[in-house]
Amino acid sequence: MNHPPPPESEPSAPRVVVSNRQDLTVDVSGLAALAERVLAGEGAPDGELSLSFVSAEEMEDLHERYAGEDGPTDVLAFPMGEDGMLGDVVICPAEARRNNDDVEAELRLLVVHGTLHLLGHDHQEAVARREMWALQERYSGVRLRDQA
């Protein structure tokens, strides 16, 4: 008996796994979908992205431990470089609220910013910063003031 060959499996799309470890209201599914759009739009390799929303206290601890800086920050990105794992994006909604009255817009911007860092983008040099800011605006829909 001849059986048709099994269908070729398509490469799996990047997956976003979310952890919400703080008390402010966050559109978890919308922000996860945004991270997925960035990964797809930038041609990210297959793998998993961890997206965590944390309290100011947890972010302060992470910021001090991994960046050597006091106080909380709004977003940290931890590229993994391992098969199947793109890395972690950690966001502090309380800091987002302090930085922008439009918290939803700020959270979109931070998700895009952290995801782009995992994909190798940075903003240390002026040209790279302009490129990264343009991508952030495109994906987040948030207009950035600093284009320098």
Domain boundaries, the chain: 15-140
Tens-binned pLDDT, residue by residue, of the chain (148 aa): 555 544 454 555 669 999 999 999 999 999 999 999 999 999 998 899 999 999 999 999 999 999 999 999 999 999 997 778 999 999 999 999 999 999 999 999 999 999 999 999 999 899 999 999 999 999 999 987 654 4
6 backbone dihedrals φ, ψ, rounded to 5°: -65, 150
What is d(CA 42, CA 115) in angstroms, rounded to the nearest whole number? 10
State pTM to two decimals: 0.87
70 backbone dihedrals φ, ψ, rounded to 5°: -75, 155
Give the CATH class of 15-140: alpha beta
E-strand spans in 60-144? 75-82, 85-91
What is d(CA 35, CA 55) in angstroms, rounded to the nearest whole number? 20
